Amino acid sequence: MGKEVVLSSKPVTFGAFAALCAALVLAASGCTRTMTQVEKPGVSAADTATGTGKANAAEAVRVSAEGAEAAEPSVAAGRDGTVYVAWVEHRGKEADVWLAHFDGEERLLAPPVRVNPDAGKATAWRGDPPTVASAADGAVYVGWTARDEAAPHASTLYLSASRDGGRSFGPPTKVNDDAKPGVHGMHSLAVSGDGRVYMAWLDERDIEPKEADPSKAPSHMHTESNRVVYFASSADGGRTFSKNLRVAGEVCPCCKTSLAVGEDGRVYAAWRQVLPGNFRHIAVASTTDGGQTFSPAAIVSDDRWELQGCPVSGAALSAGADGSVRVLWYTAGEAGRPGLYWAESKDGGQSFSPRVALAEAGGRGTPTLLKGEGGGFKAVWEGSDGDTPVTMSVGFSGDDHPSEPSVVTGGGALPVAVETTGRLFVAYIGGGSGGHSVWLARTDAGAGSGVGAEPSAGVYHGRGVVKAVNLEKQTVSISHEKIEGYMEAMTMDYRVKDASLLNSVEAGEEVDFTLEDAAGAASLTGLRQRSE
């Protein structure tokens, strides 16, 4: 651990303000926008949704069945540029895990298939969705949990394998090897280049049940006994698993684990550790022998986040070669502003660089961390536009200067993402007839990356009413009409390029303005009281 690196304070731009709207810890949000859903003729998935917040908003197809209550998406890239999406459909206490296979144009390659062999026996919730991964030999693996009726809240962790491109699944393999009914969840899945399958999860074996004091936990956080991280591996394509290995104890019970395999074969596991005083910080350990032993866990950053409950937000990992791994996580500790941070280790997870603030954001769900072909990284997470969840992304590398956060798609609750063949695919929960549906959106992988792209400015004109002027931050809040070719009608804070522009307007006045957007960074170059 080291001293925190904090990015220099920037005036609020379009992307940054959208990220600010996402922060759950902030009580106020001045951002409102209308999202629309449209039909897309000729798409086999039947329905589409288009977020209209920006000109490059992604178009999405419905993945789950129309009319079904669907949630908990997961996504993985196939070896041939295709995409696999897993999700859960709920019917009261019953649930089923499904998988669909799409080509690079979001067209279904085969009818969706149910993963769990016994209908209705699966279980999942927003903190513990199924997991999906593909192997170099074309095999597709889905991790999922089933209800165990032998004890309240008990579950069993399974892995199912498809060896025909997701068209069918063989009998599932039980992963946890304990006989006593209990909780086995918050699992993660990874496959190495040589086909080994790795799984990690939170377990309550040998734990005395106890409840945290709910009066000291925020209402949106879970309060229950801490868990233990367990790990297992398979060397035969998921047909059998190794003896379960205990990795760590006193783990935050509702924050998902994470796994990643480096180019050197080292396997990394991450979780949120509960430290004395109820500080909840991200920890990482690694193994170089396929999971027979793990290195001592290292705390990534001393965030000083003290709370009684569980925030239901784990870490994301991206592993490279020669013992390098990057970690992305959410925190709201006293050490800095609530939001997303990243840090890097170059010694196999034994120590980490000072954390770097990436984006002010809320902590709903676990973020996604993607590594691009050019060496840059991209973070994807759930933001908000007023009461509407949206999918946000930001690109960054190692120079501590990320791009501005941008909206990938509207309606993006609990998004998960993957990049393949130069495209970004995001699966998320959105609206559907009679409930929730799972959607898949596709956009250019370079959008919002800020890595290796030259800024190109677009000039737009708008009109609206000034809501507030902030001379100190050199921003103006405007409730404006639709800006043709740029965004729908909304209330937004804008930076002005010249602070003197603010001297000529006051709250309540109707104004005309000129807006310049360079690679997602919007600012006003003209602002004047509207003439009659």
- Where exactly are the structural domains of the chain? 457-529
Section 351-356 average pLDDT: 96
CB atoms within 10 A of CB 192: 18
Backbone torsions φ then ψ of 14, nearest 5 degrees:
-55, -55
CB distance 205 to 194 below 8 Å: no
Give the count of alpha carbons within 13 A of 402, CB side only: 28
pLDDT of residue 170: 96
Measured at the CA of 481, the angle between CA 532 and CA 392, to 5 degrees, comes to 150
Band (pLDDT 50/70/90 cuts) for residue 498 is confident
CB distance 231 to 280 below 8 Å: no
Band (pLDDT 50/70/90 cuts) for residue 486 is low
DSSP string for 399-440: SS-PPPPEEEEET-EEEEEEEETTEEEEEEEEEETTEEEEEE
Top CATH class of 457-529 equals: mainly beta
Report how far apart, in Å, the C-alpha atoms of 159 and of each of 65, 149, 181, 291, 345 are. Answer: 23, 19, 18, 17, 30
Amino acid letter for position 209: P
At 22, is the secondary structure helix, strand, or coil? helix
- Report the percentage of the chain scoring pLDDT > 70: 80
Please tell me what DSSP assigns to residue 45. Answer: T
Band (pLDDT 50/70/90 cuts) for residue 45 is very low
CB atoms within 10 A of CB 278: 16
Q: Where does residue 241 fall: left (phi above 0), alpha (psi -120 to 50 degrees), or beta otherwise?
A: beta
Interatomic CA distance for residues 418 and 427, integer angstroms: 9
Model confidence pLDDT, tens digit, residues 303-344: 999 988 889 999 999 999 999 999 999 999 999 999 999 999
CB distance 255 to 272 below 8 Å: yes
Q: Which residues contact 304 (CB under 8 A, 6 or more apart)?
A: 279, 333, 334, 335
Band (pLDDT 50/70/90 cuts) for residue 435 is confident
Partners of residue 121 on adjacent β-strands = 95
Write down the residue that tokens 């784990």 correspond to.
314
Interatomic CA distance for residues 145 and 143, integer angstroms: 7
pLDDT of residue 162: 98
CB atoms within 10 A of CB 215: 7
pLDDT of residue 18: 34
Say yes or no to pLDDT of 21 above 70: no
Interatomic CA distance for residues 363 and 340, integer angstroms: 8
Write down the residue that tokens 């005309």 correspond to.
512
426 vs 445, more confident: 426
Measured at the CA of 178, the angle between CA 177 and CA 181, to 5 degrees, comes to 130
504 vs 285, more confident: 285
Band (pLDDT 50/70/90 cuts) for residue 95 is very high
**Lowest-pLDDT range of 18-27, 239-248, 291-300, 478-487:** 18-27
pLDDT of residue 74: 98
pLDDT of residue 426: 96
**Lowest-pLDDT range of 203-217, 329-343, 482-496:** 203-217
CB atoms within 10 A of CB 435: 13
pLDDT of residue 495: 85
Section 31-48 average pLDDT: 28
pLDDT of residue 531: 59
Please state the separation of Cα 26 from the chain's center in Å. Answer: 20
Interatomic CA distance for residues 260 and 265, integer angstroms: 10
C-alpha dihedral (416, 420, 424, 427), degrees to nearest 10: -30
Q: What is the pTM of this model?
A: 0.74
Band (pLDDT 50/70/90 cuts) for residue 59 is confident
pLDDT of residue 184: 96
Torsion over CA: 134, 343, 368, 104 (sign): negative
Say yes or no to pLDDT of 222 above 90: no
Task: Tell me which H or E stretch contains 394.
Answer: strand 388-396
Interatomic CA distance for residues 377 and 396, integer angstroms: 5
279 vs 15, more confident: 279
Measured between alpha carbons, how far apart are the two ends of the chain, in Å?
A: 60
**Lowest-pLDDT range of 190-194, 351-355, 413-417, 458-462:** 458-462
Report how far apart, in Å, the C-alpha atoms of 143 and of each of 72, 82, 127, 182, 185 are. Answer: 12, 19, 14, 17, 10
pLDDT of residue 210: 56
Model confidence pLDDT, tens digit, residues 135-187: 999 999 999 999 998 888 899 999 999 999 999 999 999 999 999 999 999 99
Section 251-268 average pLDDT: 96
Maximum alpha-carbon separation in the chain: 79
Say yes or no to pLDDT of 458 above 80: no
Section 389-407 average pLDDT: 83
CB distance 283 to 257 below 8 Å: no
CB distance 213 to 221 below 8 Å: no
Please tell me what DSSP assigns to residue 303. Answer: -
338 vs 473, more confident: 338
pLDDT of residue 1: 43
Report how far apart, in Å, the C-alpha atoms of 164 and of each of 101, 102, 113, 139, 200 are. Answer: 11, 14, 12, 7, 25
Say yes or no to pLDDT of 87 above 50: yes
Q: Which residues contact 179 (CB under 8 A, 6 or more apart)?
A: none
Residues in the chain: 532
Band (pLDDT 50/70/90 cuts) for residue 250 is very high
Model confidence pLDDT, tens digit, residues 403-422: 888 898 877 899 999 999 88
Alpha helices in 190-271 (DSSP H): none
Q: How many helices (H) and strands (E) does the chain have?
A: 1, 36
